[in-house]
Structures are given as C-alpha cells and as structure tokens.
Amino acid sequence: MLGVLGLAVALSTSGLGKRISYYLLAVIGTNTAVVIGGYLWMSFFLSAFIDDMAVIAMMIPLVLGLLKTVDVKPGTSNFGKGMMMAIIFGTVIGGICTPAGVSSNIITLAFLNKSANMHITFLHWTVLATPICLVIAAITWWLILKIFPPELKHLPYGKDVLKRDAKALGPWSLKEKTTTVVFLAAVVLWLTSDLTKLPISFISLLILGGITLPRVGVFDNWRDLNKGIEWGAVLLVVGGFIVGTASSKSGLATWVVQRLLHPMALLPVFLQPLAVTLLIAADSLGFSSLATTASVNVPFIIAYAQQHGLPVLALTLTAGFASSIHFILVTQAPAMVLPFAYGYFSFKDLVKVGISVTLVSAVVINIGMMIAGMPAGVAMVVK
C-alpha cells in the first residue's frame, strides 16, 4: 500500500498525472457526465487484467489533476464525488471480469478445485462474468449521475484548449520519465508476480526506491515523499484488517455465516444466487479485504450447496463474484480507502451509492447466472 501511495504522489508531483489527464480529456470531451463515465470505463477495463491497487494508483493522480485544474473543492462538489466514485466502482467491478482481476477470484477457483473437485477455465470465467459486470457497471454509472448530478455540465474549456495546454507543458521532464518507467515496471512486475515469485511487498519497496533515486528520482529524500503520503489511509486499512482478522480467528464470522445459511435453503433454486450475494454483502462488513471475504465465505457456500443438493458450481461462482460486490463501508477494500483519503467524498456519500449498487448487483448476478450461466455450462437446475 505504501508503494501505491508513493507512486500516486510521484504521478502528481512530477506533473505526469496532469499531462495524461489533458490527453485523456482531449479524447473523451468536456461533458462532465461523459467524463465521469469515461474514467469509470477506463478503470473497469484496466482492472480486468491489472490488480485493483495498481489501477487506483494510476487513476487517482489523473482524477486529482483534473479536479485541481477546474478548482473543485474536496467534500463540496458533486463532480468531485462522482469522479472518485467512478474510479472506485469501475475498478472493483471490472476486477471480477477475469481470474486475473482480483485475488478473491483466484481464491474462489482454488476452493472450487480443492473442496468441490471442479475446474473452470480462465475463458469460462471471463465469458460468464464479463456480461454481468458490464451491466452492473452501466447501471452504476447511471446511479452516480442520479445521486450526485455534477454541478458543472461541461468543463470550462474545449478540446482545443486541452490540446493547447497539453502542448504548453513542453517536453517531458526527467521526473515524468522516471515516474513513467517506475510505474510501467511496477505494473509488469505485478502482472508477472506468479512467474517471478516476487512478493508484492518487495515490488512496493522497488517503487519507493525508484522514485527516490539520487539525481533521477522524483523526490530528493524520504522527507519530501513523506509529506505527500496519506498516512490516514494506511491507519484506516490497518484498523480494518484488525477487525477482519479478529472476526475470522475468533470464529465470529463462521458463526454468523453458519446461522444464516440453514434458513436460506428454504428459498427456491432460482433465488439462491440472490440470497448468496446479499448474505456475503452483509457479512463482509467486518472485513477489509476482498480476498478475506472470499476466504471466509466460499468454503461455506460450497458445503451449503453440497449439503442441500444445490448447484455447487453456480453458487460457488456467485460467491466469488459477490466477494467483490459490496460497497457499503470504505474499509471493505483498500481500493476504496485510497480515494476516500483525499476528502472528496464522505462515508455517507459512499453508502448512498454503495447500497444501491450492492442491491442492483445481487439482482443482476441472479439473472446473469440464470441466463448467461446456462450456455457457459453452469446449470442452475439440479438433475
């Protein structure tokens, strides 16, 4: 997390974030509703193949650069809230599309192989999950605009101004080049970590080292970097991990899940994905990691489906998807904590959109498992 925070500060300090924002807006346009959607979909597609934290690390400086350019004040602007919500929801929802998108997907596949003796391919997962996620993301874009209608209909400049300002930035500085190299190297290492066996924490150290290299680094020393890091975000995540770990190791999470699963079996088969998604959305409130949510819930859902003669593969995949579909508390995922740290939205703001998106996701996943699940070989009817 420190590596990601340091990279975000470097993107902002070097001016690279501002330069990229100009280029992006020159393509997207200046209609604020479209701009919000553009950043949401960009986060969505990047997150399908890149770790959520890496996507957030790239998108936050771009958003901050844009918001500062139009002089948006933290906590008071619907446009600022909408932009931050766009990268949060786009990143988390997009991560569900492929097994490579987020760690909870990998955990789900592992449990499916180990506990249920079933195998699903990368393509199989992607074909089933992507249409569901596309629908959820499209509805989320609409909800963000309805709940937080931007006070600005258009950004206060046109494409010609954006191109002119981008050109006025001049040639790339050494700091921008260093930031670009460090960022691309980090993304490559994140993507290939399974092959290189490099721990994520070690890659984080490489990021911090790269942006503070003598002569070519973005920062001359650690003190300069330290001033820009949002330490409140670190403490918030640590607190969330403590709560999640305590809930898991004390048996509280297990007790809650087991007590809720038995009466759920009374529901008809076609409503089981809806019930599983809502159950996981509720018990995930005590966790601070999508991976932890999957680790706790997926084994119980597999046992539940086997015990009651329900379609194991379909409900296990539902549990895997649902492990990422909960947006009620900021502490439920680091990808939500980082944008929150900059003060553009409050806990209450996230709840306004988050509960709606969570409920919509439960319905869409249920329908998706019934419709898109059949051709993918995930039968919802016990034979």
Question: In this structure, which long-range contacts are made by residues 111-116, counting pairs with CB atoms below 8 Å and at least 24 apart in sequence?
Answer: 111/294, 111/298, 111/299, 111/302, 111/316, 112/298, 112/302, 112/313, 112/316, 112/317, 115/299, 115/302, 115/303, 116/302, 116/306, 116/312, 116/313, 116/316
Query: 342: closest CA among 110, 134, 64, 151?
Result: 64
CA distance 107 to 292: 9
- Give Cα 64 to chain centroid, integer Å: 18
Answer yes or no: are the C-beta atoms of 144 and 82 closer than 8 Å.
yes
Residues 6+ apart with CB under 8 A from 108: 294, 298, 316, 317, 319, 320, 323
Q: What is the pLDDT of residue 178?
A: 87
Length of the chain: 383
pLDDT classification of 376: cutoffs 50, 70, 90: very low
255-258: long-range contacts, CB 8 A cutoff, minimum separation 24: 256/283, 257/283, 257/296, 257/297, 257/300, 258/300
Beta bridge partners, 366, equal: none
Give me the phi and psi of 197, to 5 degrees please.
65, 25
pLDDT surpasses 60 at 378: no
Q: Which residue has the higher pLDDT, 139 or 27?
A: 139
* pLDDT, position 381: 43
Q: Is a pLDDT exceeding 60 seen at residue 382?
A: no
Question: What would the two tokens of residue 282 be?
Answer: 């509720």
CB 77 within 8 A of CB 344: yes
Residue labelled with tokens 């993301």: 137
* DSSP-assigned letter for residue 306: H
| Range scoring the smallest mean pLDDT among 157-166, 225-234, 265-274, 332-341 | 157-166
Taking the C-alpha atoms of residue 131 and residue 162, their distance in angstroms, rounded to an integer, is 34
235 vs 188, more confident: 188
- Whether residue 131 has pLDDT greater than 80: yes
> Which residues touch 20 (CB under 8 Å, ≥6 apart)?
62, 65
What pLDDT is recorded for position 139? 96
Say whether pLDDT at 239 is over 80: no
Contact indicator for 84, 56 with CB cutoff of 8 Å:
no
Mean of the per-residue pLDDT values for the chain? Answer: 79
pLDDT of residue 141: 96
- Name the token pair of 129: 């999950």
pLDDT digits (tens, 9 = 90+) for 184-212: 887 788 667 667 777 767 877 888 888 88
User: With pLDDT > 90 as the criterion, what percentage of the chain qualifies?
Assistant: 15
Q: What is the pLDDT of residues 265-319, one digit of tens each?
A: 788 888 888 988 988 888 777 666 777 778 778 888 887 887 777 888 888 899 8
DSSP state of 284: G
d(CA 46, CA 42): 6
DSSP annotation string for 131-191 = HHHHHHHHHHHHHHHHHS--S-SB-SS-HHHHHHHHHHT-SPPHHHHHHHHHHHHHHHHHH
Q: Give the pLDDT score at 83.
A: 92
Does residue 60 surpass a pLDDT of 60? yes
Q: How many whole angstroms from its chain centre is CA 10? A: 21
Query: Cβ neighbours of residue 159 under 8 Å, at least 6 residues apart?
Result: 25, 26, 29, 30
Backbone dihedral angles phi then psi of residue 154, each to the nearest 5 degrees: -140, 150
Angle CA(276)–CA(279)–CA(284) in degrees, nearest 5? 120
